[in-house]
Amino acid sequence: MRKIITIIALLACVGLSAQELKCTVTINSDQIEGSNKQVYETLKTAIEGYMNDNRWTNMTYAEKERIECNMLIVVKEVSDNLYKCEMTLQSRRPVYGTTYTTPLLNFKDNAFNFSYQEYDRIEYQQNTFTTNLTAMLAYYCYLIIGHDQDSFQRLGGTPFFQQCEQIVSACQSASMDNSEQKGWLAFDSNRNRYALINNLLDEAFKKYRNFYYDYHRLGLDEMSGNVTNGRARIAEGLPVLKEAYRARPATYVINTFLDAKAEELVDIFRKGTDKEKKDIYELLTDIDPTRQNTYERITK
């Protein structure tokens, strides 16, 4: 009996120290003809193991608390073991008192390029650049965790965004193929990995990150008890997006927020008051006119 109790206790401890991520990886190689398709299964398994089996923080996660996320990699071109891909990353978290999960990230990386040979070991070494693939994956692991922490604690994601910043810095000075450098460089694009983390850690966007916390903890998480109050709290904070947009129209972090939240905002405010519908529709179409048709559903 004592042995059984000991085993149960050990299993409980294992359950309390689970890794942070629960990531599902999909690799679409339909655009690549006549290649060894097995390599993509090997790569998928390796990436999932890298993201899910490593410990990325010193925090304690129960199995049910692991952050659910999906990574879709679309292979566009393969030449001499250089893979040129597009990657879409989505993560989410549960909303308190409901069965609903809210999207935290819906991010597309158009320059997810890396060198890889089948059965290459994908290993994480903190503060050490090994390959572009491991660097990008580590960056996105910390980005996911940072957004999750920001949604539960005011500015709670800062140490993880700082890890992203360190990875960006290491990759900017690393020796790699020009196509692999895309996404890391400041002058490359205002919508890349560098630009996003630069925004998130910029003091000018601290109000946005405080709103991100309010949106989730004081808005969504309160809706199970009082929908009206939760919705009003979100409406109260949304002008922060407009302030950031007017100050810097090319702000990438605002785009990434709306990429994740546009549909959710429609669902929240189409049940609001007439004033909320009008104000939120005007605000969102002002800063995000490309999704005007989506936001029109708020007022219908």
Per-residue pLDDT band at 291 (split at 50, 70, 90): very high
Whether this prediction's pTM lies above 0.85 is answered by: yes
The Cα 166–Cα 125 span in angstroms is: 13
Q: How many residues does the chain have?
A: 300
Q: Give the pLDDT of residue 128.
A: 84
- Taking all residues of the chain, what is their mean pLDDT, rounded to a whole number? 91
- Give φ, ψ of 122 to 5 degrees: -105, 100
Q: What is the pLDDT of residues 260-270, one digit of tens each?
A: 999 999 999 99
pLDDT tens, position by position, 181-227: 999 998 888 889 999 999 999 999 999 999 999 999 999 999 999 99
Residue 115 parent element (H or E): strand 101-115
Domain boundaries of the chain, sorted by first residue = 17-148, 206-298
pLDDT digits over 115-153, tens only? 999 999 998 888 788 999 999 999 999 999 999 999 999
Contact (Cβ atoms closer than 8 angstroms) between residue 96 and residue 221 = yes
Q: For position 17, what pLDDT does the model report?
A: 56
Q: How far is CA 174 from CA 7, 115, 163, 190, in A?
A: 47, 14, 16, 21
Pairing state between β 82-94 and 67-79: antiparallel
Q: What is the pLDDT of residue 251?
A: 82
Q: Burial-class residue 174 by CB neighbours within 10 Å (0-12, 13-18, 19+).
A: middle
Confidence of residue 18 (pLDDT cuts 50, 70, 90): confident
Spatial distance between the Cα atoms of 183 and 53, rounded to a whole number of angstroms: 26
pLDDT surpassing 60 at residue 8: no
Query: How many whole angstroms separate alpha carbon 131 and alpha carbon 253?
Result: 26
pLDDT tens digits, residue range 44-79?
999 999 999 999 999 989 999 999 999 999 999 999
pLDDT for res 5: 33
Q: Mean pLDDT across the stretch 31-46? A: 91
CA distance 247 to 241: 10
